[in-house]
Amino acid sequence: MALTGETVHRGGKLPYPGAKLEVCVSAAGYYIGYTDKDGLPWTRESGYFKVVGMASRALASGDWERR
């Protein structure tokens, strides 16, 4: 479970005004989160997805669980 303020959903700050959720990738898999203006990871708002298509569909539909 995320600590309070660790995610934007739980009170953390956006990396910059107008930042949008996007599909990100790490060694553990794909996830929905925010990146900073340089494209570096800022937060992981979702759990991990095995394939990029699953993460993309979840983001587009809004059907994903926030951490």
Predicted TM-score (pTM) of the model is 0.89
Question: b vs e for 26-46, b when ≥16 Cβ sit within 10 Å of the residue's Cβ?
Answer: eeeebbbbbbeeeeeebbbbb
Per-residue pLDDT reduced to its tens digit, 22-41 = 999 999 999 999 999 999 99
For residue 3, is pLDDT > 60? no
Report CA-CA distances (Å) from 31 to 2, 53. Answer: 14, 11
- pLDDT range class, residue 5, cuts 50, 70, 90: low
Range 28-31 contact pairs with CB under 8 angstroms and sequence separation of 24 or more? 30/54, 30/55, 31/55
pLDDT at 2 (0 to 100): 45
Per-residue pLDDT reduced to its tens digit, 44-58 = 999 999 999 999 999
Task: Name the residue ranges covered by the structural domains of the chain.
Answer: 1-67
DSSP state at residue 14: P
